[in-house]
Amino acid sequence: MRDIGVGLIGTGFMGKAHALAFRAARAVLGDVPTARLEILCDTPAERAEQMAAQFGFARATDDWRALVSDPAVEIVSITTPNRMHCEMALAAIEAGKHVYCEKPMGLTLDEARSMAEAAGRAGVKTMVGYNYIKNPAFEHARELIARDAIGTPVHFRGFVDEDYQADPELAWTWRARIDEAGLGALGDLGCHLVSMAYGLMGPVESLIADMQTIHETRPIPDGSGRGTVENEDVASALVRFANGAQGVLSTSRSAWGRKNRLGFEVHGTKGMIAFEQERMNELQLYQNEGPVAEQGFRTILTGPAHGAYAAFCPAPGHQLGFNELKVLEAGAFLREIAGGEKVGPDFADALEFEKVIHAIAASAREGRRVTVQG
Amino acid sequence: MRDIGVGLIGTGFMGKAHALAFRAARAVLGDVPTARLEILCDTPAERAEQMAAQFGFARATDDWRALVSDPAVEIVSITTPNRMHCEMALAAIEAGKHVYCEKPMGLTLDEARSMAEAAGRAGVKTMVGYNYIKNPAFEHARELIARDAIGTPVHFRGFVDEDYQADPELAWTWRARIDEAGLGALGDLGCHLVSMAYGLMGPVESLIADMQTIHETRPIPDGSGRGTVENEDVASALVRFANGAQGVLSTSRSAWGRKNRLGFEVHGTKGMIAFEQERMNELQLYQNEGPVAEQGFRTILTGPAHGAYAAFCPAPGHQLGFNELKVLEAGAFLREIAGGEKVGPDFADALEFEKVIHAIAASAREGRRVTVQG
Amino acid sequence: MRDIGVGLIGTGFMGKAHALAFRAARAVLGDVPTARLEILCDTPAERAEQMAAQFGFARATDDWRALVSDPAVEIVSITTPNRMHCEMALAAIEAGKHVYCEKPMGLTLDEARSMAEAAGRAGVKTMVGYNYIKNPAFEHARELIARDAIGTPVHFRGFVDEDYQADPELAWTWRARIDEAGLGALGDLGCHLVSMAYGLMGPVESLIADMQTIHETRPIPDGSGRGTVENEDVASALVRFANGAQGVLSTSRSAWGRKNRLGFEVHGTKGMIAFEQERMNELQLYQNEGPVAEQGFRTILTGPAHGAYAAFCPAPGHQLGFNELKVLEAGAFLREIAGGEKVGPDFADALEFEKVIHAIAASAREGRRVTVQG
Amino acid sequence: MRDIGVGLIGTGFMGKAHALAFRAARAVLGDVPTARLEILCDTPAERAEQMAAQFGFARATDDWRALVSDPAVEIVSITTPNRMHCEMALAAIEAGKHVYCEKPMGLTLDEARSMAEAAGRAGVKTMVGYNYIKNPAFEHARELIARDAIGTPVHFRGFVDEDYQADPELAWTWRARIDEAGLGALGDLGCHLVSMAYGLMGPVESLIADMQTIHETRPIPDGSGRGTVENEDVASALVRFANGAQGVLSTSRSAWGRKNRLGFEVHGTKGMIAFEQERMNELQLYQNEGPVAEQGFRTILTGPAHGAYAAFCPAPGHQLGFNELKVLEAGAFLREIAGGEKVGPDFADALEFEKVIHAIAASAREGRRVTVQG
């Protein structure tokens, strides 16, 4: 298999995760092309140089347009703040590059739509960084449902909470601005939940929702007073899936104690599956089978019997970590580019998730049931 | 303290729970009157006789009206199927008795309203069997909030799930009929959740909701075909509390694996409290205090430091059971009748809970935001 | 069924537990005689009077010998401090009474032996208050093993920890004295673990052990200095069961955070059962059955499918409490006295448990393997 | 910082873990030298070639002696079966290489001693692969103890269980032979527990122990009958630490359901710390501080506040995985070789762990207290 050249924009939380994932993918998975780390972009240039040396990129730049147009780059990874995703992705697509973009795709549904359309027209491959749905535990949940292990899914519950905006006196930042961050908890966290709900239950048809900015102002760091928080801290929705089931989604970025509490329950006619990301190596399974006196939720520790786990470790219960979900994601993208099947979520898939979170926001603002556009 | 005569109608799940509670209340709590077990009513008369002997009642009857009018009876305990609550309670009130009635108060909001009004006019004491809010763990949660241990409550999540209607081929029963059971999951389970939300967050102002009958028909036991399930298996609501916070409520009676999963999270500006009834002796508390590296949810095992626990056991972590919540409820009612303060929920309080569950049903039916009537 | 007269000595933690249990047994279980609460004994007499009124005993006394010889008393319940158990039990047996005694039976193995012998000679029924082995969860664990659900038991782990002596500056009390309390953690807590190990694995043949007084002195409450702690805070043993399996037992009364942490694991050739008393309504079961990808520990919530649970509640997962284990114990004793089968543990059974804890103490003192006497 | 050349022997579970760790160390940690992947050794040569391509090694060989003597190799990583560790390590040391060896060091205490002595004489750096003690959760436990957060450690409990030898009909392999595998559960699992106990409590002074081969024979794969299992399935010890505290250690490789259950409790005079590897991102902390009614075990999710976690992820609760512990280990070794402080465990440290597991085996065989040699 030939190598594939990667250009990475951003060296923060997600930038590092992409770098580590590309470094590891071939070594872990075996059956994917080697990612050739070509160019790393950040500003200032010194930061880019320093992190390129650390991450093992051949070159560094502070000019993302140079990166995008570099002939050695086949994949452009975009891990910059949300407001830059769209412009960078469109430029990369126009340069004929495959694009690996962090979620949310853009600030608005229009941005997301334009990105999906451009990718479709250009015929490039795309991947959006939804991480958690690459978890072997999650894949096993999907497989259990497909195998009828819990019967027909009839109800869904999902939550995703963190506490990074729980402190009322935390400083005002760009995260609070709609023109910088777009949606609040929905864009940052809720989209993950939607990606899971979609994978487990299929598309959402319509919903009613409510949302709230809990902390309406925050102190501006320069001491100049308090800035307005323009986007939501919490949002919740009652959804109707196309499969006929109802469900509840709720997200908060102001939930003290929750660090990465992304969880779901799928209620089926023969059982239930439950999961919490804070214990990402465990799946809870209840099946109405066997003697009543021995029924109970089974705590399944993921192991080599579960999807891609074996590539990391041949022994069960040894635990995968967050960064390894990214390895699976990068690996899936590399494999697709080398001619393998699409795994996604690509821009078209992710647009579907975006439609749901924007429908939640619209329903909450307008106080009415919103149909998710097909 | 003088004894108080009790007449109990019903010998099923809740009938037995009342009998055990009245037998135990004085012995456990010390500072309440002895409940004199006067008359037990059930049909047929043999059943009443047999259970009166077992429970220790002095007399038995199959005529609830005779019980209600018996001069030795001061408290009438009503534990019959929902559709009989209202008639019995009104008769007991008219006879000047104090009434201890199981939830839900009646089949309809009108019934509940008539009961609350009659009790108010007659000046009798009333208690509705909401059990779980008598848990020392719950009382401690309320105390923590009152003490500002988690700051201002800004968001609420609550769930109550069981699986007694999860099996699609379970027989059709009276529970499926609106004129026998009233609401479905909402009336049976959801009202408990509302009682907790109310105790923690205060009144609900308005809400939007959705609900669904998952299993639309069930086999009629006599083999004559399938009967229609008239009430809901699941219901969910997005609520706005009078205190300004939003919340999510959801209930299912078709949730495989959940046996008594009544749980909540109160999100505050300084911390969080979480609870699950299936681990009813544990309270989860997160406080944004002390070094970040030592923060985490604390699993507090209830013990003598928590409310009424000490009356049952001087040693912490020894576990109270469901029936002991009933002892606390019966004890509170006996104490009130002997001149103590009202603890409730009395009919007026419970009417507030009923308004919420009926508002949920109305919103779900009508597809619009419903204001809970003051 | 005729009533059975009960005389209860002691009104503390266990005295109250006995009183509540006798009050409830018939009402809960149905098929046991009514316990007639005849006499309650404590000192001073006022305390006895007050608690008799609260608990519902007909008479009160401060003279335990009068209670023991009272013709209306058929069962003598002994819940006094350990050093009085033997004398009271022997007197009760001599008076021809059935005896329900709290654990440990006595201060020394000789005391326990004399009690078992006297009961045997007199032909009276006896019961020792081992509470936890009456838990439907525990009974179900035994049944699972009997049914070969986990294959042959090949290893055992057991622990019982509390923290009531964890604070180094807690006052010196009678608990620290061998002539008042006998053994320390072993006598108070370890014997419970032994009763469980015995029920699950059968008799212990030999063992090696170690033990330690962690807090060697404690402040004497009158300020006169520090008193010596004569008995052990922790004790541990490596045991060999007669069935050929090995096991580990360990107990501490100085384990901060543990309130009633009595737990075990039975390792079998086909599965494992695990249990923790602090979650006494849950049993963990792993079976090497079905697809590997779905194996895991099942959290079984006790319910009506488990032994005596149904007598308390027809709905699963509603939780029994500590006091209800006592109801089952008292009920078993009442049933036996009325002609039913022995459930035990009677004095002969409990003597076997005592032999193990004293063998642990002997091995620890002498530094050698000790064979448990047959 | 200059690069450091690595030669890796072995491409199995641990071989891959080393390869991934060396690939990632610099990129994750920043402040360590780049590991230059020089030579990978396995047999047959094709396997070595294939895995070298996958892991990113420059060259492959089937001749470990060639690898050891290659001038481009500075670190020799040994991940072969136990019986080859000693010979390879001695050869590498003689060639002046730094050695990174998987545990256990060798088959016998003599082997381990010869390895430690040789490394000491040669002045090369060594590291033994104890993985779990590199966990930020474990490091935080150590830090809490050092900071007196739980007072003086007074008791220890530790367990390490897996189920890879739980099935009685699993085939007989080299693992069952003393001359191939050395000790059984002790050598494979118990040594991890000892490394943790050592890190938390300091050295063990003496102990008494017991052990057992549960499954005495196993079917030979070629159908030629049953082979004898020569080493232990379970082993347990009661230890006395040099700090005066006692403790319990127990290990099983035949414990159904346990996948990587390496856990401990440190009981202190002011609190307790508990940990389980199967939830390796959580630390349980109880402190006797603040109101009794709010005390409880705190579930601390590891995050950037805990040691090296931040290098992997700036967000708490996102979970590290098993392979990332190896990154920390490899990183510590690279840093030391580049002139940083020793972190260890080096051969001298690991020899101390080996002394304890061999003392356990000796005590179990001889039935007497064994003093661990200084």
pLDDT for residue A317: 96
CA distance C302 to C279: 11
Tell me whether C292 touches chain A (CB under 8 Å): yes
CA distance C138 to C136: 5
Residue B374 has pLDDT above 80, yes or no: no
Chains touching chain C through at least 3 C-beta pairs below 8 angstroms are: A, B, D
Neighboring chain D residues of A314 at a CB cutoff of 8 Å: 12-13
Residue D128 has pLDDT above 70, yes or no: yes
CA distance B81 to B101: 11
Closest CA to B249 of B188, B185, B190, B198: B190
The pLDDT > 90 percentage for chain B reads 97
- For B165, which DSSP code? T
Tell me whether C44 touches chain A (CB under 8 Å): no
Which residues 294-313 of B are in CB contact (within 8 Å) with D?
294-301, 303, 305-306
Confidence of residue D2 (pLDDT cuts 50, 70, 90): confident
Pair B73, B38: CB distance under 8 Å: yes
Average pLDDT of span B225-251: 97
Average pLDDT of span D190-216: 98
Q: What is the pLDDT of residues D68-106, one digit of tens each?
A: 999 999 999 999 999 999 999 999 999 999 999 999 999
Residue B48 has pLDDT above 80, yes or no: yes
Pair B354, B109: CB distance under 8 Å: yes
Nearest CA in chain A to D279: A279
CB contact under 8 A, A260 and D54: no
Q: What is the pLDDT of residues A44-64, one digit of tens each?
A: 999 999 999 999 999 999 999
The DSSP line for C331-366 is HHHHHHHTT----S--HHHHHHHHHHHHHHHHHHHH
Q: What sections of A108-228 are H helices per DSSP?
A: 109-122, 136-146, 178-181, 185, 191-201
Nearest CA in chain A to B248: A236
CB contact under 8 A, B260 and C316: yes
Pair C299, A296: CB distance under 8 Å: yes
What tokens were used for A213? Answer: 């900015």
Neighboring chain B residues of C164 at a CB cutoff of 8 Å: 315
> Which of B167, B258, B267 minimises the CB distance to A288?
B167
Average pLDDT, chain D: 97
Name the minimum distance, in Å, from the CA of A13 to any CA of chain D: 6
Please provide the distance, in angstroms rounded to a whole number, between the alpha carbons at the two ends of chain C: 38
Name the minimum distance, in Å, from the CA of C64 to any CA of chain A: 45
Q: Is the peptide bond before B71 cis (omega within 30 degrees of 0)?
A: no
CA distance B122 to B96: 7
- Distances in whole angstroms, Cα of residue A8 to Cα of each of A43, B28, C23, C45, D25: 13, 69, 74, 85, 19
Average pLDDT of span B341-350: 97
What tokens were used for A185? Answer: 């908890």
CB contact under 8 A, D305 and B299: no
Average pLDDT, chain B: 97
Closest CA to C162 of B311, D151, B303: B303
Residue B224: other Cβ atoms inside 10 A: 9
Average pLDDT of span B221-229: 93
Q: What is the pLDDT of residues A166-183, one digit of tens each?
A: 999 999 998 899 998 999
Which residues 105-144 of B are in CB contact (within 8 Å) with D?
140, 144
CB contact under 8 A, A294 and C303: no
Confidence of residue B373 (pLDDT cuts 50, 70, 90): confident
> pTM for the complete prediction?
0.98
Name the minimum distance, in Å, from the CA of B232 to any CA of chain D: 38
Q: What is the pLDDT of residues B273-305, one digit of tens each?
A: 999 999 999 999 999 999 999 999 999 999 999
Confidence of residue B1 (pLDDT cuts 50, 70, 90): low
Neighboring chain C residues of A298 at a CB cutoff of 8 Å: 294-299
What tokens were used for D140? Answer: 């935080």
> Which of C294, C301, C305 minimises the CB distance to A300?
C294
CA distance A121 to A355: 20
Q: What is the pLDDT of residues D210-250, one digit of tens each?
A: 999 999 999 999 989 999 999 999 999 999 999 999 999 99
Find all residues with CB under 8 Å of B36, minimum gap 6, and list them.
B3, B4, B5, B6, B58, B72
Chains touching chain D through at least 3 C-beta pairs below 8 angstroms are: A, B, C
Which of B298, B301, B302 should one mutate to test binding to chain D, selecting the residue with the greatest count of D CBs within 10 A?
A: B298
Tell me the CB-side half-sphere exposure of residue B236, using CA atoms within 13 A: 29
What tokens were used for D148? Answer: 């007196």
CB contact under 8 A, B238 and A240: no
CA distance D168 to B214: 46
- Distances in whole angstroms, Cα of residue D21 to Cα of each of A311, D10, D27, D139, D282: 14, 14, 10, 19, 22
CB contact under 8 A, D300 and B294: yes
Confidence of residue D373 (pLDDT cuts 50, 70, 90): confident
CA distance D134 to D307: 10
CA distance A220 to B24: 60
Q: What is the pLDDT of residues A104-130, one digit of tens each?
A: 999 999 999 999 999 999 999 999 999
Residues of chain C with pLDDT under 70: 1
Name the minimum distance, in Å, from the CA of B83 to any CA of chain C: 21
Q: Which helix (H) or strand (E) holds D8?
A: strand D4-9
The helix-helix angle for B45-55 and C13-29 (nearest 10°) equals 170
The DSSP line for A214-274 is SS-EEE-TTSS-EEE--S-SEEEEEEEETTS-EEEEEEES--TT-SSEEEEEEEESSEEEE
Name the burial class of residue A197, with classes exposed (0-12), middle (13-18) and buried (19+) by CB atoms within 10 angstroms of its CB.
Answer: buried
Tell me whether B322 touches chain C (CB under 8 Å): yes
CB contact under 8 A, C13 and B314: yes
pLDDT for residue D187: 95
Residue A58: other Cβ atoms inside 10 A: 12
CB contact under 8 A, B240 and A210: yes
CA distance D313 to D240: 39
CA distance C53 to D285: 44
Q: What is the pLDDT of residues B145-191, one digit of tens each?
A: 999 999 999 999 999 999 999 999 999 998 899 999 999 999 999 99
Nearest CA in chain D to B295: D300
CA distance A312 to A304: 9
**Residue in the block written with tokens 């009322």:** A168
Nearest CA in chain D to A310: D13
Q: Is the peptide bond before B44 cis (omega within 30 degrees of 0)?
A: yes
Tell me whether A220 touches chain C (CB under 8 Å): no
> Which of C208, C210, C240 minimises the CB distance to D246?
C210
Average pLDDT of span B329-352: 97
Chains touching chain B through at least 3 C-beta pairs below 8 angstroms are: A, C, D
Q: What is the dihedral of CA A12, A14, A15, A17, to 10 degrees?
A: 120
Q: What is the pLDDT of residues A251-306, one digit of tens each?
A: 999 999 999 999 999 999 999 999 999 999 999 999 999 999 999 999 999 999 99
Nearest CA in chain C to A293: C305
Note the maximum CA span of chain B.
67
B98 phi-psi bin (left φ>0, alpha ψ -120 to 50, beta other): beta
Name the minimum distance, in Å, from the CA of C262 to any CA of chain A: 22
β-bridge mates for residue C62, sequence order: none
